[in-house]
Amino acid sequence: MRERPLSEARAVLGLAGPLAVSELGTVGMAIIDTLMVGRLGGGALAALGYGSALQLVALGLLAGTLAGVTPLVARARGAGDGRAPAHLTTANLWLAVLLSVPGVVALMFGGTLARWTGEPMLVSAGATTYLRALAPSVPASLLFVAGRTALDGIERPQSASVIMVCGLVTNAVAAAVLIPRYGLVGAGLATTIARSLMAAAMLYALTRARLIAARAARGESLPRVMLRIVRMGAPIGVHLALELGVFAVAATFAGWFGVATLAAWQVAMNAVQTAFVLALALGSAGAIRLGHALGAGDAMRARLAIRASFRITFGVAALCGLVFAAAPAGVARLYTADAVVLTAATPMFVLAALFTVVDQLQTCGVSLLYGAADTAAAAVIGLGGYWVVGLPLAWWFALGAGWGVSGLWVGLGTGMAMVFVVSAMRLHRCVPRASEGLALA
């Protein structure tokens, strides 16, 4: 009996490695841009941070919808349906094309929100410039996500990982050339170049893997297959938008304390987002293993996948927190040499050390709910934790109680802790019933 938990933990870790690399695309380009733009000064860094938060919300909603294909593919594979993955992947690619339209529009006009929320002119103007340069990358970004989420479902994330590494290298080279000359416009152009090449490589990889089909399965029309993906993925997209949106609003609050404080917030939050990728990979790996177990009607393997995912995530999160707490100034210096920003950012990392633990645990819990196909519950839990509990507390601690930007970390962290606890309770209740239902079907 001891061997099965260890075997499941190894399986989760084996999947999580390549997934961590491919998931890095969620924040990887933003991290590179932050490191490069940080050399231009606190004003440019603050504008980039605000613009990045807005584009992550827009892309999170759309990319999350496309992620609905992963549990569908995973369950089909667990049930032995060999044709379904290709049909689902094809529909997901067409869905990505359709979703690109609102994505481009959102980025073209996203900078207007900075002016409406009272951000300093330096921040609002810079964010507008960055987002408009980034807008052409939306179709390529969504096509890559559509292919990657399908490959994740069949436990073949290696191709996406290789493409992501090449994309990040391309982005770093392009950013090094373009940002010193063109500033925030160069950051957007560098990301657009990298994402376009990644999308082309992904389409080639899907063709080689025979995951692009000419017709839908079992006589279903393409729109019907797309609708199935949307029904599964829309709650995922809503949840991601809720989570990323609360950080965008928190960035607005941070901006009210000044440009230097917003830049420092961007530095600390970017470090947290980098650690977040590890939790996202572990949660996604656990979700895939959970989906396969549920598809096969194996309740014991489903529970083992959940336990292994939570335990490994806690260990990784604790290690990240120790790094933030032990070397806050060292981590901050990776992003900027601005003395004012460094002074503001360094104490934030003490709170970020605690925040990253609950953030990673709630990310793992929500990802496992995706694997259980309980995506609607994940969205409701996120709404309650992020917006009903976390954001009001963040506002009150920061402004009402006078804690300043430290209050943002405490309030949001409380909301994240709630999401973790409730998602774990939901998994405990729903996974055995899902397994039994599938076993009897």
Q: Give the pLDDT confidence of 315-373 residue by residue, as tens digits.
A: 999 999 999 999 999 998 888 788 888 898 899 999 999 999 999 999 999 989 988 87
CA angle 377, 385, 300 (to 5 degrees): 45
**Residue 293 one-letter amino acid:** A
Say if residues 317 and 350 touch (Cβ distance below 8 Å): no
Q: How far apart are the first and last CA of the chain?
A: 27
Q: What is the mean pLDDT of the chain?
A: 84
* pLDDT at site 1: 45
Orientation angle between helical segments 138-153 and 158-182, nearest 10 degrees: 160
Compute the half-sphere exposure of residue 248: CA atoms within 13 Å on the CB side of its CA. 23
Quickly state the pLDDT bin for 215 (edges 50, 70, 90).
low
Q: Are 33 and 52 in contact (CB under 8 A)?
A: yes
More confident residue, 125 or 324: 324
* Residue span of the structural domain in which 266 resides: 3-440
State how many domains the chain has.
1
CB 274 within 8 A of CB 415: no
Output the pTM of the full model. Answer: 0.73
The mean pLDDT of 49-75, rounded to a whole number, is: 83
pLDDT greater than 90 at residue 384: yes
Distance CA 434, CA 278 (A): 27
For residue 119, CA distances in Å to 53, 110, 125, 262, 300 come to 14, 13, 10, 10, 52
pLDDT band at 436 (very low <50, low <70, confident <90, very high): very low
Task: Return the minimum-mean-pLDDT range out of 22-26, 42-46, 92-96, 415-419.
Answer: 22-26
Residues 314-333: b if buried by 16+ CB within 10 A, e if exposed = bebbeebbebbeeebeebbe
Nearest to 93, CA basis, from 231, 284, 192, 226: 226
Helix and strand numbers (H, E) in the chain are 19, 0
As a whole-number percent, the residues of the chain with pLDDT over 70 amount to 90
Q: Where are the beta strands (DSSP E) in 92-132?
A: none
Say if residue 115's pLDDT is above 90.
Answer: no
Can you give the pLDDT at residue 439? Answer: 35
The winner for highest mean pLDDT among 163-167, 190-194, 217-221, 436-440 is: 190-194
- The better pLDDT of the pair 11, 384 is held by 384
- Say whether pLDDT at 391 is over 90: yes
